Structures are given as structure tokens and as C-alpha cells.
Amino acid sequence: MSPTPSSESHAPARTRPGRSPLHRMPAGIKLLVLAAAGTGLAFTTSLWVLGGALALTGAGYAIARQPVRRLFGVIRPMIWLLVPIFLVQGFMESWILAVAIVTRIITLVALAQLVTLTTPSDTMIAVITRALTPFRVFGVHPGKVALAISLALRFLPVIGGLAQEVRDAQRARGLGHNPLALALPLLIRTLRMAGDVTDAIEARSGGDDDEDAAPARTPVPVTPRAGSAAASSPAPAPRSS
Amino acid sequence: MTTIEVTDVVKRFESFEALKGVSVTLAEKRIGVVGSNGSGKSTFARLLNGLVLPTRGSVVVDGLDTAKAGKAIRRRVGFVFQNPDNQIVFPVVEEDVAFGLKGLKLPRDERESLVDTVLSRYGLEHLRQQPAHTLSGGQKQLLAIAGALITNPACVVFDEPTTLLDLRNARMIARTIREMEQTVIVVTHDLALLNEFDRVLVFDEGRILVDDAPSAALARYVERMQ
């Protein structure tokens, strides 16, 4: 029973555990740096500043001991977006501005990827939840925002897999590349899945912070397997409610 | 041991009546539910932990009415869905297992210890930092079971847990269900899974057609399907 990377190609970046200074840096600081870079770089077209930021980001990959191919792995899927932007800006404005804009996009995406690679998603979500807490007075529910982010991260590859299934089924029936023929069944399957996911969240009692009056049972789950690492864990709680 | 009392339950979805006056008390440790597609067995399963509320009648779990104490009942009665992909809601294995503990406000150490224990129990400890979408079908179903059991429910309802699995993974999940110490209620088309169960309910057109020991109930079901 080995893991199957069936939908790996649709997957967002995931954390690569490590002990580098960037891995140990608090997630809040990394997100602040990312936000500051996003804001700061938007206001400059200086190739020196943008080139310096890209070099620093590259150095960040080296400090986090992430192979260079991961940096190129971020850029490769964006080529189809970057080339038209570069050409349009080059012909309509100037080639220097075109280089600046493309460098800015690559730097920010690579920096965001570096944060993702060095920060577990639950840590990142916890920071976002804390940061949103003051906005409760405006009706923002931090727990629900955090859950929405988790669901987006979780279901991007799943929906990518669904799209592949629909495409394969259509190809098997002799249909060519028709975006509408792909979009409709994909939308229906995604909506149906959303209903099931809502049920699952409800069933796992995670969708709401409010508690019913009746107390939960002591959450010590199961008797460990004989010989397993858990066999040395504390004895489970009594099964009676 | 959990006791679930279902009293004269009718469940309507717009004009379709999925359950037509079902009454039954469930107190055994291993209960199977079978029936043809559309017979009402999945609706019945969803009633047991309050995911679906009766249009008429009541469902009472250990004295708690599902219509009034839904959240407390969902902590008491876990649910494992047919398609684990729809049940796994966090991107990484260990984060998903910990999801059920979020509302309990446990200290981080205690939460991690519980996650360790349940991952170890289901042989998933080496996958704890793996993205959930890269797991095999059997591993995903184990993860779904681990996620349901982390809050230590007294009873677990399985809705066709082996339908999407190959033979080896289906057997592995069947063994896992048999070894569970909780009360289990399993909706399935896999009749062999129910051989050692205490009781089997056969659903037909929104009603319980047969309520008996596995051998007798399954024989009636097979006869009915021919």
C-alpha cells in the first residue's frame, strides 16, 4: 500500500520539513516579510532593487536548503503568463519596464513559495486566525476563514484530479478539447462534492466553535496496536460515557 | 455501549419519502445495514448522528435527541463516509487527524499525543507529514477512520466503507472495523463483511424488511434480490 502521486501535478506547494533558520523563524514574521515585500516591490520599477530582491529570495532558498529546481519549478508553470505580459509591456511601454514587471512577479511568487516550503500549513493558518481576531467586531469569523484556507489547499489537487477524470472520459468518448464540455460536468461534480464535504465537516464537529450543553467524552481514542510505538503511551480512558 | 432509539421516523426530501415510519432500537456492538440502492439505508445512517433530521418521529442517542443536541451527538457518534476524499478536509495527514480536536481547546502537547496514538494505531505514523491527496485509497480510508476516532466516539457509523476500494484494501478496512472496540454500524453491499456481526437490518423501500441475525437476514436479502 504505497502512496500514489496520482494528482501530484495539481498540488500546491507543500512544506518541506527542515531545521534551517528559515524553518525556525516564526510564521508571523515570514508572513509579514512577504506582505512587506508585496507592498514595497509594487512601488518600484528599479531593476537594481527588483534584482536585489530576487537575489535575496534565491539566497533564502539556499539558507532553507531547498534545491534550485524548486525555484525553477515555481517559474515554469508561469511561463504562459509571463511571456505575454513581457511582450505586451515591451511593445507598449518599454523593455526595461517589461523586465521589471516580470522580475517582480517571479520574486513575489518565489518568496511566497519559500514561505510555504518552510512553514507547516497549520502553523500558517493559526497565525492568520490570530491576525484576523481583531476583525471579529466587523463580523469576520477567524475560524471559518482558517477552515476556508485549509479547504482550498486540500481540494485544489482533488479538483485537479476530477478535471483529469472528466477530460479522460471525454477523450475516451471521442470528444476533443472543449472547455465548455469540461467545465459543466466538472462544476456539477465539484458542487456535489461540496455537499459531501459540508456533511463531513458537520460530522466531525469542526464547523462551529459553539458547543452544545452536553460534554464531550474524554478524547483518548483507541487501544494501541501491540508492538507499535503507541504501545508505550498512557492507558486509554474508560470507554463508558 | 451506545443505545440508539429510532421511533416512527419518516424522512421526506421534497416529494420523495426516503424513510416511511422506521422504528428500531440499536444496542448491539456490531450492526449491519443492507438494502438495494434507494432503499433508505444511507438516509437511516445519517439520522443516527444527526446529519439528517427526521421529518417526523425521533432519534435518541443515549438519551440525547438528535434534533436538540446535534453537536454533542456528533461527538458521541462518529461517521465514516463512502468516499474518504470528501471527508479529509486538511491538506496534510496529521493536520487532518487533529481537525476533530479543534473545538475541544486541548493543550498542544495533549493534542499531539492523541494524534500520535491514533496515527500509530492505524499504521499511518510514517505518513504524518504526507499531503493527503498522495495517499492510496486504502490509506485515505484509514485516515478517514483515524479522523473520526480521534475524539473517541462511543459509536461509529460507516456508510459503504469498502465500496471504492480494491480487494486487498477492502479486506484491510473490514479487519480494522472488526477489531474496533467501539459500537459499529456498517451500511454496506459487502455481505461478507457482516458475517460475524450481531445483527443485520435489511432495508427495502424506506422500511426495515428484515431485522435478524446475519445468516438469516442476509439469506432473506439475497432471496429478495433474485
Total number of domains in chain B = 1
Residues 158-187 of A with CB under 8 A from B: 158, 161
Contact A154 B88 (CB under 8 A): yes
B158-213 pLDDT tens trace: 999 988 888 888 888 898 898 888 999 999 999 999 988 999 999 999 999 999 99
Amino acid at B180: M
B93-123 pLDDT tens trace: 988 898 888 777 788 888 889 999 999 988 8
Domain ranges of chain A: 12-119, 136-203
Q: Considering only CB atoms, which chain A residues are within 8 Å of B181?
A: 222-223, 239
pLDDT of the residue at A226? 35
Give the span between the Cα atoms of A240 and A182, in whole angstroms. 51
Please name the member of A15, A216, A239 whose beta carbon is closest to the beta carbon of B181: A239
CATH no. for residue B57? 3.40.50.300
Greatest pairwise CA separation for chain A in angstroms: 74
Name the minimum distance, in Å, from the CA of A80 to any CA of chain B.
26
C-beta neighbour count of A76 within 10 angstroms = 9
pLDDT of the residue at A175? 73
Give the span between the Cα atoms of A223 and A39, in whole angstroms. 52
Greatest pairwise CA separation for chain B in angstroms: 56
Which H or E element spans position B56?
strand B56-61
Q: Considering only CB atoms, which chain A residues are within 8 Å of B136?
A: 1-4
Contact A154 B133 (CB under 8 A): yes
Q: Considering only CB atoms, which chain B residues are within 8 Å of A218?
A: 152
Q: Does A238 touch chain B (CB under 8 A)?
A: no
Amino acid at A193: M
In angstroms, the first-to-last Cα distance of chain B is 36
A216-231 pLDDT tens trace: 445 544 443 433 333 3
Give the span between the Cα atoms of A114 and A66, in whole angstroms. 9
What residues form DSSP beta bridges with B12? B17
Contact B71 A217 (CB under 8 A): no
Residues 17-56 of A with CB under 8 A from B: 17
Mean pLDDT to the nearest integer, B125-133? 87
Q: Considering only CB atoms, which chain B residues are within 8 Å of A224?
A: 117, 120-121
- Backbone torsion region of residue A41, taken as left when φ is above 0, otherwise alpha when ψ lies between -120 and 50, otherwise beta: alpha
Give the span between the Cα atoms of B76 and A183, in whole angstroms. 40
Amino acid at A229: A
Percent of chain B at pLDDT exceeding 70: 100
Search chain A and give the residue with CA nearest B66.
A212
Which H or E element spans position A8?
none
Contact B100 A205 (CB under 8 A): yes
Q: Does A191 touch chain B (CB under 8 A)?
A: no
**Nearest alpha-carbon partner for A115 in A36, A8, A50:** A36
pLDDT of the residue at A41? 94
What residues form DSSP beta bridges with B25? B5
pLDDT of the residue at A219? 52
Phi, psi of B54 (to 5 degrees): -65, 145
Tell me the range of A148-152, B54-58, B161-165 where mean pLDDT is highest.
B54-58
pLDDT of the residue at A12? 54
Sign of the CA dihedral B165, B11, B154, B87?
positive
Contact B86 A193 (CB under 8 A): yes
Three cell numbers at B21? 415510519
Give the span between the Cα atoms of B62 and A156, in whole angstroms. 39
CB–CB of A9/A164 below 8 Å?
no
Please name the member of B64, B123, B129 whose beta carbon is closest to the beta carbon of A214: B64
Name the minimum distance, in Å, from the CA of B11 to any CA of chain A.
17
Search chain B and give the residue with CA nearest A153.
B91
Give the span between the Cα atoms of A71 and A236, in whole angstroms. 46
- DSSP 8-state symbol, B12: E
Mean pLDDT to the nearest integer, A123-129? 83
Three cell numbers at A92? 507598449
A160-197 pLDDT tens trace: 888 888 888 887 777 777 777 788 888 998 998 888 88
CB–CB of A1/B139 below 8 Å?
yes
A42-59 pLDDT tens trace: 999 999 999 999 999 999
Domain with B30, as residue range(s), is: 4-225
Cβ-Cβ contacts under 8 Å for A111 (sequence gap 6 or more): A33, A34, A37, A57, A60
pLDDT band at A205 (very low <50, low <70, confident <90, very high): low
Residue for cell digits 480512558?
A: A237
Taking the CA atoms of residue A88, residue A94, residue A97 and residue A98 in that order, the dihedral angle to the nearest 10 degrees is: 30
Tell me how many residue pairs between chain A and chain B have CB atoms under 8 A apart.
194
Neighbour-count burial of A234, counting CB atoms closer than 10 A to its CB (0-12 exposed, 13-18 middle, 19+ buried): exposed
